[in-house]
Structure formats: C-alpha cells, structure tokens
Amino acid sequence: MVRNIFSRRAFLSSALSAGAALTLPYPQGSALAQSRRETLRHVTGGAINTLDPTMLGSTRESFGLSMNVYDRLMTFGSRPIGAFATFDPAHLQGELAESCEISADQRRLTLHLRDNAVWHDGTPVMAEDIKWSLDRCVSANSLARPQFSSGSLTTPDQFRIAGERTIEISLPKPDRLAMANLAMPYAIMVNSRLARQHATSDDPWAQQWLQHNTAAGGAFRVENFRPGVNVTLTRHNGWHSGAPPFFQRIISQTVPEATTRAGLIEREDADIVIDLEAYDIMALSRRGKVHIDSVVESNCFTHLAFNTQSAPFDNVLVRRAIALALPYQDLFAASIFGRGKPLYGADWSERSPAPDFPQPLPFSQNVQKAREMLMKAGHPDGFHTTFSYATSQTTTAEPMAALIQEALGHIGITVRIDKLPDAQFNTMQARRQLDFYTDTAAGWIEHAYYFFYLYFTRDQRWNFSNWNSPQMVELVEKARFETDEAAYVAECQGMLDLLVDQVPLILLWQPNMDAVTVPDLTGFTYQYYRQVDFRTLARS
C-alpha cells in the first residue's frame, strides 16, 4: 500500500563603499528600458561567502542564494497574506520530484523525478545524480550531515536508485522530519557528472571547487561571483520545477551600511532590501516613496538566554525571578518599536497550550513576586552579573540592555552591560562562556518537536542555555518517532510546560521581516530561511 504525498498533508505535520551606488552594465539606446525592467537589483548588509551552502561557515545569504540556483527534491508551498505570500509549513510539495509515494509503514519513500528536469548545461537530471547528491549530504564534512540526521537520514545505504528517474529512501523508523529535510537549503541536488570532474582523492565531494562554481539546475545560473561583494545571476530557461521567473537577470550587492541601503531603495537605485533597521523602515514609511511588505517571522524568536550550568543561573528560582522582573512591553517598544509579535503575556489558566513553537508564553512582570522569588533562591541582597550582546545587534539590544539593567536593579541584581564584537560573541556563545545574553534564532522546520530538539537538548552549539534536562530529552525522543497524533500533541504540550516551569531562556518576540521595494515590484514571499526568493518577484 502506498500513498501519494501530494494528496495529503499528514506526513509533514506527521563590496562597495558605504556611499557608493550600484552600477549596472545596461545596453544603450532602445534596449535600455527592457533591460532595466528585466533586471532585479538586490542590496543586502550580509555577504555571500560561498556558492555551496553546505560548507562550514556559510552565511545565511549563501543559503538564500542557493535556493535560487540549486533545486531540491522537495519544497514548501506558499499561501497568500494580503498582497504578498509566506511559505506554508504544512504543505510539502515536489521540486525536482514530480511525485512521492510513502509506504504503509512510513519507512520507505519513493520519489519520481520530473521527466523534463535538466541541469544548467542542458543534460538531463538522472537518479544517479540524486543518489550522489544525497550521499554527499550524509558523508561529507559539512552542514548538511547534522541537518539530515534530524530526519534519520544518516548513511548512503538509505538511498537506492530504483530506475533512471526514481530514487528510493529507507528510514529505520517513521520520522516526521525526513521529507522536510529534503527541502532544506543544504539539500542541494548536484550535477554529479560535472562535480566529479573536479573531485580529488582528498576531496571526493568536490567541496573546494563547488565553493566558487556551481553544478546546478535551479531557476537561475551564476554568471559572476565575487565573494563578499556581489553576485550576478541569469535566468535558466530550461527550469521546470516551478513557475518561470519574471526576471532575466539578478544583481545582488553587499552594501554594509543600513542607511545607505535605505537610500538606494528610495532613489530606485535598487529594487529590494529586507534587512533595514526599524527606525529606517519607519522613516521610509512616512515619506511614502517605497512599498513595504511586513510579515512576522513565524519560525523566528528573539530571546534572553541563561547559562543553566553556571551559578547563579543554575538555580531555577533565580531564572523565575528574572522572568517576573522584566518590563516586557517596554522592551518590545524600545527595541523593535513594536514591529513584530510578542511572545509573552499569554493566559494558559483555562486551556492547555497548542502544540506550537514559538508561541506566546505566560510570562509577565510582577516586581513584588520577583523580589520574593529571589529571596527564596537564597539571594535576598541580589548579586552581580553581566548581560552580553553582539555588536551587530546594537540597535535593538542596546535599549533592551538598558531596560534590563534598570528592571533587575529594582530587585537587587546589579547588571554590567558587555557589547562584544560578533566574532568574539559567537565564539564565547559556542564555548558556553556567556552567562546571560540575548540572541535571535530560527528553525527551518516549523514543528514544535524540531525546535525543542534543536534548541533545548544535547551538548551542541544551538542549546543556547546549556540546558541538561533528562525529562525534556525523553519528551523529544518520544515525539520524534511518534505516529499517534494525539500522543504527539501531548508530548509537545509537555515540552512547553517544562520550558515555562524551568525557564532555561525567556522568549521575547518574533520580529517582522520588512521587505522594502520600489513601488512596481510585486510577488514578495517570506521564506523560512529569511532571504529573498528571486523566483517569485516580478514588475507590475
């Protein structure tokens, strides 16, 4: 017995200077207007540092670029929100795969490739390419390997060629994240014939070559790449894994200063930017020369983290006291001007929480209870601590830090503020050397289980609070392979209850993504990887 994934949704739920302008080599004369219309100019504060998103150290901008250049077997659908759209985490569909069958025991996936799928060089996409690409994901020393393991995809033996355009994937147990992992930025499908020409005995997966070259078949091909500066793409007219893109050419440029990026958009010297500061967004909105699409980053959360293995934050009563002392609404207003969704102030008194994450938690300010809790914790006179944030977070974290310092002072905790260079902050975070800090995180697969697995279990980089809870590990492991939906919901509710009770970190809010565009640009889609999807954009 088999089931077609597309007929049901259960398995898933189951560098220029700061002031410089962009310059484009447009043709002269009558071709100018058409060239301008078919060229999209994107500016970003970040940098594309590699063409292979699986490489260690790849930036988020590199992930975003790869979604436009490489295909995956699967992709998420989208749903409209007013004039724009957002990805739909409950709708998994084929990209290179035309159809997928799931065995009755949910341990075998059979994917059939599109008959008309071709690589950028015009050669057909074959099952042997897919097998090599999947083997690469689970074998090479890369970011893909740990990501794939979250869906029980760990060894080449699990991938079998079952026909010229058919691939079969075997799972040790039914895993609700297996299919979703085939849609992740790391799950690039590679033209194996081309890549193998550049592999060596020391580099069997052509990782060195693919950092600066592509062996792809996605909607756009790379015409020119200057790491950390800019990249130029041209449309792949042989792409059939989605609707044909409107734009013939894409120019993505790194412009470090946010105010410069804002000026480029307002003067129509660029077409789209998604990483401006909140105060720039508000100023642009008042002047009314640009179009702004704002959407809550549904899979993202800003938080305060404690090192739960370091005194005094190893004491749950201290963490509860701080959660009671914070002026949540003031933090929300001062840091991001209210542009987002609060993750505090929920009322769970008459209901069990929905099995979702992130979601508002029942934290609110009560200074008197905070003082009492700190006394119970054995700190009647308070203590001294340091609150840290990264330099790149200054515009939002600086007002946050000042308010936290003042609020905790009211219950006797003296806070020193430490702004750290990004590299130092990231290193100290990874080494568990930050006791109390703020950061923002996102999960690519919007399942409560996935967030708790990623951020609240195991001795690994993303366990921000260095939390070791056997009870949480037990709940996560049960949910991972749970096939009974009611049991899965109960397990996720248990994770949420434990988070609120033990307070390893405090959720603050989900920020907005503000896509600022020239007035005639349409088709913006918010994607879970929080970068621009060039494939959906068009001019009106």
User: What CATH number has the domain bearing residue 368?
Assistant: 3.10.105.10
pLDDT tens per residue across span 494-530: 999 999 999 999 999 999 999 999 999 999 999 999 9
Tell me, yes or no, whether 14 lies in a domain.
no
Claim to verify: residue 221 and residue 343 sit in the same structural domain: no
Overall pTM > 0.85? yes
Residue type, 421: P
The C-alpha atoms of residue 99 and residue 102 are separated, in whole angstroms, by: 10
The predicted model gives 450-462 an average pLDDT of 92
The predicted model gives 70-79 an average pLDDT of 97
Q: Is the pLDDT of residue 40 over 80?
A: yes
Would you state the pLDDT for residue 202?
96
Q: Is the pLDDT of residue 20 over 90?
A: no
Would you state the pLDDT for residue 32?
55
CATH number for the domain spanning 257: value is 3.40.190.10
- Residue 423: pLDDT band (50, 70, 90) is confident
Phi-psi region of 390 (alpha: psi -120 to 50; beta: other; left: phi over 0): beta
Q: Is the pLDDT of residue 351 over 80?
A: no
DSSP 8-state code for residue 167:
E
- Residue 74: pLDDT band (50, 70, 90) is very high
The predicted model gives 184-210 an average pLDDT of 98
Tell me, yes or no, whether 442 lies in a domain.
yes
- Residue 33: pLDDT band (50, 70, 90) is low
Claim to verify: residue 110 and residue 165 sit in the same structural domain: yes
- Residue 353: pLDDT band (50, 70, 90) is confident
Claim to verify: residue 136 and residue 103 sit in the same structural domain: yes
Tell me, yes or no, whether 291 lies in a domain.
no
Tell me, yes or no, whether 181 lies in a domain.
yes
Q: Is the pLDDT of residue 16 over 60?
A: no
Would you state the pLDDT for residue 123?
98
DSSP string, 18-63: TTPPP---PPPTTHHHHHHHTEEEEEESS----S-TTSTT--HHHH
Q: How does the average pLDDT of the chain come out, rounded?
A: 92
Claim to verify: residue 214 and residue 311 sit in the same structural domain: no
Claim to verify: residue 533 and residue 472 sit in the same structural domain: no
Claim to verify: residue 323 and residue 460 sit in the same structural domain: yes
DSSP 8-state code for residue 227:
T
Task: State the total domains in the chain.
Answer: 2
Residue type, 451: F
Would you state the pLDDT for residue 352?
73
Claim to verify: residue 265 and residue 395 sit in the same structural domain: no
- Residue 31: pLDDT band (50, 70, 90) is low
The predicted model gives 190-198 an average pLDDT of 98
Burial class (CB in 10 A: 0-12, 13-18, 19+), 167: buried
Claim to verify: residue 319 and residue 439 sit in the same structural domain: yes
Claim to verify: residue 333 and residue 459 sit in the same structural domain: yes
Q: Is the pLDDT of residue 22 over 60?
A: no
Tell me, yes or no, whether 55 lies in a domain.
yes
Would you state the pLDDT for residue 14?
34
User: When comparing pLDDT for 237 and 26, which is higher?
Assistant: 237
Q: Is the pLDDT of residue 27 over 90?
A: no
Q: E strands of 339-470, at which residues?
A: 340-342, 384-390, 414-420, 436-442
The C-alpha atoms of residue 15 and residue 230 are separated, in whole angstroms, by: 7
Would you state the pLDDT for residue 460?
87
Claim to verify: residue 237 and residue 312 sit in the same structural domain: no
Q: Is the pLDDT of residue 21 over 70?
A: no
Would you state the pLDDT for residue 57?
87
Would you state the pLDDT for residue 23?
43
The predicted model gives 195-207 an average pLDDT of 97
Q: Is the pLDDT of residue 473 over 50?
A: yes
Tell me, yes or no, whether 212 lies in a domain.
yes
The C-alpha atoms of residue 397 and residue 419 are separated, in whole angstroms, by: 9
Tell me, yes or no, whether 376 lies in a domain.
yes
The predicted model gives 468-496 an average pLDDT of 94
The C-alpha atoms of residue 318 and residue 296 are separated, in whole angstroms, by: 31
Tell me, yes or no, whether 16 lies in a domain.
no
pLDDT tens per residue across span 248-265: 999 999 999 999 999 999
Please give the residue range of the domain that contains residue 256. 2-8+39-192+205-275+518-539
> Of 534, 513, 530, nearest to 41 (Cα)?
534
Angle separating helix axes 394-409 and 328-336, nearest 10 degrees: 160
Claim to verify: residue 508 and residue 522 sit in the same structural domain: no
Claim to verify: residue 507 and residue 522 sit in the same structural domain: no
Would you state the pLDDT for residue 279?
87
- Residue 36: pLDDT band (50, 70, 90) is confident
